[in-house]
Amino acid sequence: MARGEQVEEAGRWLASAGGSATPGEIGAALRLTNRQRQSEVIKALRGGGLVEGPKQRVTLTAAGWARFAVAEVSGAGRVVDAAVAGWPYAHAAYIRLMVSVMVGRHHLGSVRRSGHLGFMAIGETGTGKTSPVEQVAWLFGLDPVSIRYLMSRETKGSLIGRREQNPGGGYRLVCSPATQGPLVLLDEFDKAEKPVREAAWAFFQGDTRVTVEGDLYALAPTAALAANPPEQGQRYSGLRQEYRRRSVVLDTGYMRGRGEEIEAMLERFYAQPPQRARLDLARLVPPADRLNDRAREVLRSVRRALTEAGREEFPGVQALELAALGRAALDPDTDQVMAAYATAIDYLLVTETVPGQVVEGWQLDMAAVHAAFGDEADVEALGAVIDQARTERARVKAGARRAVVARQVDDDELTAERATIAARLKRVSDSIEGRRLGVLTGEQRDAAKGVRAVLVKLGKQVADSRSRAALAELTDRAHEPLAAAQSIAQAAARERARLADEQRRTARESAENKRQAVRSRTLTRKAEQARKGRLREALADLVEEARPLETLYRRTGTGGNPLTALTALRVNGTPLLVFTPGPQSAAALDATLTILGAVGTLMARTDTRPSPAPRRGRPGTWQVTGTGRVFPGYADHCPALAAWGQNTRAVLTPALAALHTAEDQIRGELGVKPRQTRPRLDTERWQVTRPALG
């Protein structure tokens, strides 16, 4: 393992171990048996300012925590949620979108080279234009100072790149660091010179490459700009419309007079322990490079929530799709459709800060979302985001009126709080509506019905309340039934998840059984094919062995010497005929010679063929192997087998019958018709004649 990799592994292990350990413990964790190598790793950590402490024990510094305390992919969404918890609703949505777009652009920029969103924040000083970008940088372990470019001090060359002369002649473009990292902040955009602003618009084209003097160069970062509104004229005149429609535009003016809230929130955030988890951009991989059709339909529906002016500046489904894919990477368990809903909500929450862009009352019908997805945590999160936005919008409006009529402001705030509480009561009440609790027991459903009745009653009382005291009392009374409803909804969600797991397990088992059955049938088929192949080979061998015998079986007349041909035959390696000599005695020999002489005389009278030469040797018998048939004769002559006919067929019949029987059995197993060309055997007709030899 390379030295740099060992340092990284040591830092990550130290963070997971609580941030403090002895060098020996670190060496054991990295399996470093060499003490010198162990010391070198510790020295490298110290040299980078990543650990501190005495020689006997080292502890991660704040810089070490920032580098090595990286969140697991499965917890990335929670890290972002914790980071935006204290932000006003539109700023929180702005941060979530920026994180999502960074992930999408980083991983999909090579295959989706256009359509990536930029970010524009315009507003008065102290309303939170740059701090969201700096917090995003912190989340990804980036130095907020290194990503920030003060536009009043920049030039076209410092933003995009400069032409430099090569030593061997000619020029080359040296790209600016601003084009290389994952994030760039162009601050005080309104104070930049016109040529610098014109160069900077390349960051908001939505492309991952830029053409400079005819050459194509990579443009890596997600870009954000911060600008103050002009003192006179149209508020957004400094932000060109063709680039606004490729960006998410946040007007921070809704936070005028509330800058101290952001400041206090940021102080609390950065004062927390340094070991808080960060995000690893390389590990947050989108689940695909395209959303499914249903998710894209959700993004297309955003246009219905926009006014005509809003639709003119709508960046398009492709841009929101890339953001939604990045959003899905923050939580691998999130459905693509849910990621699209979350992205659409955040886009509308930010866009409605620009007057006249979003239709009044655009909020999603949460009952419909619940019906589509059930009471899962992500759906509740969407409802919480909308509730927060509804409340904060009411606060903004109330704050604007406070300067005119204090009493009316108080009533508006009370109305907003009342509406928020009533909306929460209704949403929670809807979450335990009977149709959604079919997975629970009858007793649990009865309990849910009672809790729901209480929530409905409290909701009506909240809507009718006219004082803060009454609203506070109703809020206290609602605490217990809300907790009970949440417990019931969670039980239903767990039961649905259990049933879904059981269904998936059953489906997997069924699929596995089917695979096993197919595999078994395949093996059986192959075994049968192999068996039949062996049978065909055996059949061919039988036919090949039987045909010479069948040829001899058909022969008649005196052609050749039958005894010579028959004794040469083998069936399964066994001779067809075997000669057994008789006892040797003078009397037997004389009798045999006398009989042979008489037979020779008889044959001379009836056969015109020349008489055979006198035979020599002991007489004996020729026996047909495996049968009781015998023929008297000599070792080189057998009168009964001197010519082709019924005796030779009697010799051949047993062997052929056995071969034909085996052949018929194999053909029966193969389903093949019997061979028509073989001779028909008739063992009854072909009885063996046995002429006496004496």
One-letter amino acid of 101: V
- CA dist 385 to 38, 390, 394, 482, Å? 49, 9, 14, 18
Taking residues 163-172, what's their average pLDDT? 76
Of 117-131, 365-379, 640-654, give the range with the top mean pLDDT.
117-131
| Percent over 90 (pLDDT), the chain | 35
Task: Give the residue with greater pLDDT, 315 vs 393.
Answer: 315
For the ranges 69-73, 250-254, 564-568, the lowest mean pLDDT is seen at 69-73
Quick check: 53 pLDDT over 70? Answer: yes
Q: In this predicted structure, what is the pLDDT of residue 403?
A: 37
Which residue spans within 166-221 are E strands per DSSP? 171-175, 183-187, 209-212, 215-218
Coil, strand or helix at 652: helix
**Beta-strand relationship, 183-187 and 222-227:** parallel
Closest to 627 (Cα-Cα) out of 650, 611, 660: 650
Q: Please give the model's pTM, rounded to 2 decimal places.
A: 0.54
Task: Give the residue with greater pLDDT, 286 vs 277.
Answer: 286
Q: In this predicted structure, what is the pLDDT of residue 538?
A: 92
Per-residue pLDDT band for 684 (boundaries 50, 70, 90) equals low
Taking residues 381-402, what's their average pLDDT? 58
Give the largest CA-CA distance in the chain.
Answer: 159
Q: In this predicted structure, what is the pLDDT of residue 413?
A: 80
Quick check: 85 pLDDT over 90? Answer: no
Q: In this predicted structure, what is the pLDDT of residue 332?
A: 82
Task: Give the residue with greater pLDDT, 76 vs 404.
Answer: 76
Quick check: 691 pLDDT over 50? Answer: no
For the ranges 63-77, 514-528, 679-693, the lowest mean pLDDT is seen at 679-693
Q: In this predicted structure, what is the pLDDT of residue 65?
A: 77
Per-residue pLDDT band for 386 (boundaries 50, 70, 90) equals low
Quick check: 438 pLDDT over 90? Answer: no
Q: Which residues contact 519 (CB under 8 A, 6 or more apart)?
A: none
Taking residues 16-28, what's their average pLDDT? 81
Q: In this predicted structure, what is the pLDDT of residue 211?
A: 82
Task: Give the residue with greater pLDDT, 513 vs 626.
Answer: 513
What pLDDT, in 10s, does the model give residues 106-138? Answer: 999 999 999 999 999 999 998 999 999 999 999
For the ranges 29-38, 346-355, 452-461, the lowest mean pLDDT is seen at 29-38
Q: How many CA atoms lie within 13 A of 105 on its CB side?
A: 29
- What mean pLDDT, rounded, does the chain reach? 83
Quick check: 13 pLDDT over 90? Answer: no
Per-residue pLDDT band for 172 (boundaries 50, 70, 90) equals confident
Q: In this predicted structure, what is the pLDDT of residue 610?
A: 47
Domain architecture of the chain: domains with CATH: 3-68 (1.10.10.10), 555-670 (no CATH)
Taking residues 172-189, what's their average pLDDT? 91
Instruction: Please identify which residue in the block is written with the tokens 């894209």.
Output: 296
Yes or no: say if 132 and 121 are a contact pair by the CB < 8 Å rule. Answer: yes
Q: What's the rounded Cα separation, in Å, for the pair 15 and 21?
A: 10
Q: In this predicted structure, what is the pLDDT of residue 688?
A: 37
Yes or no: say if 632 and 690 are a contact pair by the CB < 8 Å rule. Answer: yes
For the ranges 59-73, 169-183, 322-336, 569-583, the lowest mean pLDDT is seen at 59-73
Task: Give the residue with greater pLDDT, 66 vs 450.
Answer: 450
| Percent over 70 (pLDDT), the chain | 84
Taking the CB of residue 309, how many other CB atoms lie within 10 A of it?
13
Q: In this predicted structure, what is the pLDDT of residue 602?
A: 42
Task: Give the residue with greater pLDDT, 69 vs 354.
Answer: 354
Rg (CA), the chain: 49
Q: What's the rounded Cα separation, in Å, for the pair 393 and 637?
A: 127
What pLDDT, in 10s, does the model give residues 585-618? Answer: 544 544 544 454 444 334 334 344 444 444 557 8
One-letter amino acid of 439: V
